[in-house]
Structure 1
């Protein structure tokens, strides 16, 4: 078994400093040489104890588990940060937007919980088969992502489109007119990425998240601020005496 030598000596005021270069392990144990001159080891002999190294360094399994959890924490936090950048920050910096599908009107093309990534295109580039994201011209003007069934040019130069959800049996009961400019078209669908968003939008979860998220961030900041700094030793501690004997006795 790998062992560690632990040397303890009586605490007393010394007439002069003692350094590892001036005394040896044998002198400490026997109280001879400079240790005898200084009064070390004469009244209360130094004690030598052999302890398993695991008492100081921890078991190999504990080290491996610690490293594993540390790496997993880094991976999870990195993925969460990247997801936050993609969903919340990216649309403000780059020409795209993300929409989380909340209904099944576009199954199986876009399932509930999928995230649709839209880019802007000219309305005059629209054609049947494109999936566009727009506000419907009736009812509550909600935003939908539906497939274009037909495109009709109007005398004033605008375009009128008829849309339909892939899972719906009939065309949408309205037609949307676009006078010009650009419109959002679905280019990519990322499966299941929006499940977390849908879960957080539940009333109870959303209320809890409002209080839990700031608390977690505060705890992380406090742990970083209060983390004790490692003491840098510019010179050896005079009590750290190296073993210089010829062998075990």
Structure 2
């Protein structure tokens, strides 16, 4: 039997209205959560693509808090000015802090973003995710009117259900104009109408603001390259280099080491800093060695490395060869009496990699590389794989029987050391040309790793 007050005054109507009002209240709360932190300098953004899935899905609203550049760390999700879309925003994860910018990557993307981001372009670091709150913004931007219309109808129905319950008090006659009722509260239905109207106004205002200010699309996998590294710096240090000297300095004599071993290198002799370097999807610097006294040496004493890799970018047009990178017992840049684990260029421009095992054991490239172009040379060595020599990401020489090097402690260097006693030595042990991104690894890099590192230049 229907209660005296009718269906709208019934207990079921009260329950339905209460549930609808609870849902509306939750929506209002989420909207407020997305905008109130702005008073503390936070920012919200509607995620427009799936490049961060499953961590963040399209239609999620993400709140970011301000962050100092010094506090940026790999793993953080950053909101930044999109380097490829003027006026746009990008929400991606920080994977590397390089000398020339921040390298970001979408969790759903196979490779990092193709463009680096300046630290000054960072709006903040992700702090809170509100799932699905911004879906209407996504649907509107994509012209998906069916789900958008469905959402509007659902919200209208929810509003109607919130107003379904009506008590008999709501049917009391209104007061004549000019007379105010005293001692009585406003009818519940009227209160609900006013509250819900305010809720809808706030929701529309906030959603519109978020759409206008934070609708920059993130980069998707189809719009970036296929290389896992996008700067020479990230590539050289990407396989956990024990020593990594970017050789990007423009003043002074210190060659800063950003590897896992502690100790900076030193520029010695005729070295010109800050010259143009290899281009790896961004500008890169280098140092020029004069071919008569210039080189770079490191202070880290390494004991008998039997598994290692060395890597260096170089360019030259010299016809007299020179020492590129290697290992010796000379301290503080002194000429080594024992030289081993080295790469040098012959007068013909070919590259030779050698280790000393009672006698010099070497492998040499069939081609020449004194053509004035930038090249990346990588030498790897271990008792299991033997000696391998790579140029520009490709293995060009190998000898599996070269599997033991002299048991000696020493220091790595680039640009000069004695080559006395080595086969087909160059006219001068000093390399005349430019070098950059010196990497020393305590592992034998694989073919895939070397190719990926060189991929930064393509």
Superposition TM-score, scaled by structure 1 size:
0.52
1:220-245 C-alpha deviation (Å, 9 max, x unpaired): 9xxxxx9844899xxxxxxxxxxxxx
> Cα distance, 1:178 vs. partner?
2.2
1:1-249 alignment to 2 at 5 Å? Answer: 56-58=4-6, 63-87=10-34, 89-153=35-99, 160-179=101-120, 183-199=123-139, 201=141, 203=143, 204=145, 205=148, 228-229=173-174
Q: Which runs of 5+ in 1 are unaligned?
A: 1-51, 155-159, 221-225, 233-249
Report the RMSD for the aligned CA atoms in angstroms. Answer: 3.9
Distance in 2 of aligned mates of 1:55 and 1:113: 44
Secondary structure at the counterpart of residue 133 of structure 2:
coil
Structure 2 CA distance for partners of 1:91 and 1:201, relative to 1, 3 Å: farther
Structure 2 counterpart SS, 1:110: coil
Whole-angstrom CA distance in 1 between matches of 2:112 and 2:24: 44
Contact between 1:119 and 1:187, CA under 8 Å: does it hold in 2? yes
Distance 1:107 1:55 in 2: 52
- Asked whether the 8 Å contact 1:115–1:189 carries over to 2, the reply is yes
SS in 1 for 2:27: helix
Structure 1 residue 179: Cα displacement = 4.5
Relative CO higher for 1 or 2, CA cutoff 8 Å, sep ≥ 6?
Answer: 1
Distance 1:63 1:163, change over 3 A: same
Q: Residues 35-58 of structure 1, C-alpha deviation per residue, up to 9 Å, x if partnerless?
A: xxxxxxxxxxxxxxxxx9x67455
Q: Counterparts of 2:47 and 2:120 in 1: how far apart (Å)?
A: 26
Name segments (4+ residues, structure 1) moved above 3 Å: 54-59, 199-206, 226-232
Change in CA separation of 1:228 and 1:153 when aligned onto 2, cut-off 3 Å: farther
Whole-Å separation in 2 of the counterparts to 1:195 and 1:113? 4
Change (3 A) 1:124 1:58: same
TM-superposed CA distance for 1:198, in Å, is 2.7
CA deviation after TM superposition for structure 1 residue 68, in Å = 1.2
Q: Which structure would you say has the larger Rg?
A: 1
* Closer/same/farther in 2, CA of residues 145 and 76 from structure 1, 3 Å limit: same
Helix, strand or coil at the partner of 1:124: helix
More helix by share: 1
